[in-house]
Structure 1
Amino acid sequence: MNHSPTQPGREDPDSRAVMAPPAPGAITLARHGRPDADRTVRINAKGYGEWWANYDRVGLREDSKPPRDLIEAVKKADILLASTLPRAIATAHAVAEPERIETLPIFVEAPLPPPPLPGLFLKPPTWGVLSRIAWWLGYSGGTESRREAEVRAESAADHLVQTAASGAEVLLFAHGWFNRMLRPALKRRGYDCVVDGGDSYWSYRRYEPVQSRVDGADPGR
């Protein structure tokens, strides 16, 4: 049986090249701007618990403005995500149109329950250090434990990686400590930090998939 040649203008199905899947996109983790909270007061453990609860309700200080490099990073992003806490949402709104931002509770900050240390009157930053150490060592005070937060960080990393899987550039507005917890989770999923902006307010870190860089693709597109 003779096979007729492919007609002009029609593609031979057997000659179609298999298209490779797109390289995963980069993931950027940004910390929020400076919250509108008084850090100079001296308070006891109970007072710090109340201070932290209020910290989770406030937005940003009026004089806290986004740096140019974060604004440029947002322009490159295809998908913007944020924690549901007001300081993260206010940060996102300072650099992007609200309709571009999806908020998810999985990205909220890990809790800071103050350890029961009666008689101590300290400033909030000092209480923050003591509380984080105590929480890391196992004290949760009825809040989310370190182990529970680690499980949440793994799920959050899965969400970020799945969102970036189609090649989209993803940027998350979240929190200092929870972003820190996401670092090893992203590394285990094949992402390396290529831009390290530190841990200050408005800072960010950019992560790119290792395999994409090895293959010569441009994750930043």
Structure 2
Amino acid sequence: MPRRPPSALQPAFPLLALGGRLQTPTRPLRSALLAMHHPLGASTGYMDFSRGDWAGMVERAVEVSTFAAELGALGEDELLGLVAFLEGTPRLPFHYLSVHAPTKRRRLPEPQLVALLNQLPAIVDSIVVHPDQVTAPPDWRALGRRLVIENMDPRKTLGQLPEHLAPLFAALPDAGFCLDVAHAGAVEEDMDVAHRLLDAFGARLRQLHVSSLRAGRGSHVPLYRKDEARYARVLARCPDVPWILEAPPPRR
């Protein structure tokens, strides 16, 4: 679906129109591993001090890449604002756009949450969901191929292993898969579980989440050099899907 021009009320992004897409210079990446990968993007989920300022967060995401981005409505109270922002048809440069569905401050019954997510316009390619949020899989079938299930880290009671996710994918045959590399690395240091997840669900793979995790807290932080080496074989299996950074690009 082509991106439509912005309304007069929308802030202009500092971009140039090229062939129906918007392009802008991006900041050079200092990580050689990330710099070599083309389908790259940033998640707005790490932009805590800009919560709710969707235009501002998009501008920051564009500084990382104009190819892909993930808009994180991690709190349910953020979702209505995101729907309104996207319904305003802002001029976005991205060839791939995902939305991270709420994981916090949940109040809506599951069918109502799915209905609200289904209002996201067609420019949203994927809607990333944590498996523990899907308690009634038939309700989520309305999202079709846009529904994407993410693997979890050890803080959750399930969702880490292929055998945890297999029943969910069986109930949601059109759903895609988001491999969170840091989550998998927190489950097994040698990254074996990441390879097992790709073996099981690689045909469903839509995107990656890439970062490191802060020891003892589980929060996403810029990719450590040691993790670049640890993740390398897993990332080499995923050359054709967007890698979404869940923390700022490393500065080294």
Same-fold status (TM-score > 0.5): no
Q: What is the TM-score when the length of structure 1 is the normalising length?
A: 0.29
Higher strand share: 2
Which one has the largest radius of gyration?
A: 1
